[in-house]
Amino acid sequence: MLLSHRIRLEATSEQRDYFARAAGTARKVWNWALAEWQRQTALGQRPDAMKLKKQFNGIKYAHPDWLDAESKPWLRTIHRDAHAQPFAHLQRAWRRYVEQRQAGKKAYPPTFKLKGRCRDSFYIANDKIRFEGKCAVLPKIGEVLLAEVLRLPGKIMGACVSREADHWYLAVQVKLPEQLARLQRQGDGVVGVDLGVSAAAVLSSGEKIAAPRPLRASQRRLRIRSRRHARKLKAAKAGAGITGAIPKGVRLPVSRNRKKDARALARLHAHIMHVRTDFIHKLTTRLCRENQAVAIEDLNVSGMLANHRLARAIADVGFYEIRRQLQYKAQRYNTLLVLADRWYPSSKLCSTCGAHYIGLKLGERNWICACGARHDRDVNAAVNLQRLATGALVARMALPEASHAAMYGTAAGAVPAAGGKVTPVRYEHGQQDGSGQEENGAHLCAPFR
């Protein structure tokens, strides 16, 4: 199993300067490779990452664009991994773009990276990094102090150094054997989780977990700092005699106050993200550690974000990130993750008698069934999801272990040993039992990869 551990670097000023130059090198090489890719495509050629890399290696130490003021190749001061990996990343981006176009999805081709408008990062190969306690030994700069030791004991597959606000982070990808990747569960419950805006997660036990909503809490300060930064940009444009949009290729002078405001704004954005990420990690870890089956809805998050009245609140909770973390943590804790179909009416089904209340509106937070049961909309949905998880768990445990291939539609041996399988549950408007499942009890199951 591949896992990643992200650690903050306690770097010196010289080391931070090298990180910035290495990230700038990766950005410049990406832009060169993208321009060459587009030029060759316009000529009817078929560009390739390896060919572009060989072409670049022939000019990187001799072409004037890659020489400093003293006519020396400045790339020699940066480790080669920083300017070798962008070619592979570019080919992967083009392949993903073509695959999405062929699948009929909305797709965007790779674009050029602008300084200050993109993520600063560079790659380090696995054979060029090692760890000595609380230090990481990186090429060209030697030992860099870490905020904590690497927690994952396994084979290092690669690393990436990136900047977030005014801090640098090292993300290490580690390959763990299954016996080390597994974690011990502390409970064997079955829970349904209804994600929402008023409460981030409502459990089938009736517990409502409120989200911290860091964006909402910091909205006033975010607006103030954004206005301050915008005024300084406007003043820089006025000083340069520019009205309207900044012409292409023109760089405005950056004052110290503008840099200081930009750093303060970036720190605020990073704080918002850290609060949200910390909450999601604690929530998803708790759900997987305390339960042997967890059921959530397969929400259409991109479609929900199209509603501009709810988009900010939905994004502030982080629906997609909750699902993403549940998927990989379920593998580690051997937890069954059940994804109810997005058309499954979890809120409209009475958890007592199974009746379907078609007329339920979004604004109705409570409703009374014809059988007399009074329901809280979110708790009722979580109970129905719990029943789906119970049915999927019983179906999995009722089959012998040797029948995984027939159960999951895969070849024998393809099911991960760590478990944590994702079970999509189909809902059809036919005769159902009280749990809302199909009459024949058939589940469309597939292992998570």
Q: Which residues are catalytic?
A: 194, 297, 378
In whole angstroms, give the CA distance from residue 359 to residue 23: 55
Residues 430 and 412: their CA atoms lie apart, in Å, by 33
- CB crowding 98-116: b at 16 or more within 10 Å, else e: eeeeeeeeeeeebeebeee
Residue 346: exposure state from Cβ atoms within 10 A (0-12, 13-18, ≥19): buried
The answer to whether 109 and 100 are in contact (CB under 8 A) is no
Query: Taking a C-beta distance cutoff of 8 angstroms, is the pair 295, 424 a contact?
Result: no
Q: Could you give the C-alpha distances from 268 to 20, 142, 217, 264, 273, in angstroms and in order?
A: 21, 31, 11, 6, 9
> How many degrees, rounded to 5, is the angle at CA 115 between CA 236 and CA 227?
40
Residue-wise DSSP of 291-333: EEEEEEE---HHHHTT-TTTHHHHHHHTHHHHHHHHHHHHHHT
HSE-CB at 354 with a 13 A cutoff on CA atoms is: 13
SS3 389: helix
Evaluate whether 338 touches 392 at the Cβ level (below 8 Å): yes
∠ CA 194-197-203, nearest 5°, is: 25
Residues 6+ apart with CB under 8 A from 179: none
Beta strand 201-203 with 189-195 is antiparallel
